[in-house]
Amino acid sequence: MRAPPRRIVLTREESQSRAWREALAAAGATVLELPLLRYAALTPPAGVDPAAFDWILFTSPQGVHAFADTGLSPGGARIGALGGGTAAVLADHGWRDGLNARCRDGAELARAFVAAGAAPARVLLPGPDRRLSEPAAGLRAAGCTVVEWPLYRTEAIPAGELPRDPFAEGDLVFFASPSAVGAFAEAYALRPPCVAIGETTAAAARAVGFDPLVADAPDLSAMARACGLGSVTDPSFREMPS
C-alpha cells in the first residue's frame, strides 16, 4: 500500500479550495492551501440569448457561477454538466442537470451528449475566454451548432504574490487543471510529487517536468485514493434532487 503523504498542497482558486481542505482534514490529512489561480469576470458578448439554444453545457463550477452572474435565464434550454461538482453548483442555483453525465473531460462530455441522443442541437458553452478544443469539436462533428460564450478569464497569481518557499519534505501537490500546473511551473522550480485530476491535467504536468499520479475519476475522492489517503468524501458530490 502506498504510504500517505506528509501534507497535501491544494492549488485551486481560494473559494474552491476551502471545501476540499475541510474534507481532507476530516479524513485526517494535513493540508496547505496554495491558491495559484483567480478568476476575472468578463462582459458577456452581446447578441447571445441563452434561451434560444436547445442545450447549455457547463464544463466547470466557475462557468455556472459566471452564467448566473449575467442575470440571464436559460429559458427553455436544457442544461448539462460535465461532472458532479458542476452539477452540484447548478443545483445551488436552482437548475437541474438534464444530461446526468459524469465525464472526465470535454471530449468525453461530447461523446456522452451524442450517446444520449441529444445531437444535433444548438448548444451554448458558457465558460472561460480560452479553453481546449473539446467539447466544441466533438459536438460540431456530430452536427451541432455550437457557440462558445466567454464569461470569465482564469488568471495565474503572479509569482511575486505567492509564498517564496512554502514546501516541506514529503508534500504532495494536487492539480485540478492545466492552468494550475502552468502557474506552479511559472512560480517554482521544484517538481514535487503530484496528483492530477485527469489525463488532460496530467499531460500538462508531464510537459513541465512532473511525473504525476492520475485520478481515475475527476473528483477529490479519486485523487485521495491515487495517493493512498483512503476514504475521502468529495464535498461537491451530493445527492441531486429528483
Rounded to an integer, the average pLDDT of 20-36 is 93
The answer on pLDDT for 1 being more than 60 is: no
Rounded to an integer, the average pLDDT of 30-41 is 94
The CATH code that applies to domain 40-155 is: 3.40.50.10090
**pLDDT reported for residue 5:** 64
Percent pLDDT > 90 in the chain is 71
Residue ranges per domain, the chain?
Answer: 7-36+160-226, 40-155
Tell me the CATH number of domain 7-36+160-226, given options 3.40.50.1970, 3.65.10.10, 3.40.50.300, 3.40.50.10090. Answer: 3.40.50.10090
- The beta-carbon contacts of 77-82 under 8 Å, at least 24 apart in sequence, are 77/50, 77/51, 77/52, 77/53, 77/124, 78/54, 78/118, 79/55, 80/55, 80/56, 80/109, 80/113, 80/118, 81/57, 82/57, 82/58, 82/106, 82/109, 82/218
pLDDT class for 4, splitting at 50, 70, 90?
low
The answer on pLDDT for 136 being more than 60 is: yes
Q: What is the rounded CA–CA span in Å between residue 168 and residue 7? A: 8
Whether the domain at 7-36+160-226 and the domain at 40-155 fall into the same CATH topology: yes
pTM (two decimals): 0.79
Residue-wise pLDDT for 80-94, tens only, equals 999 888 898 999 999
pLDDT class for 218, splitting at 50, 70, 90?
confident
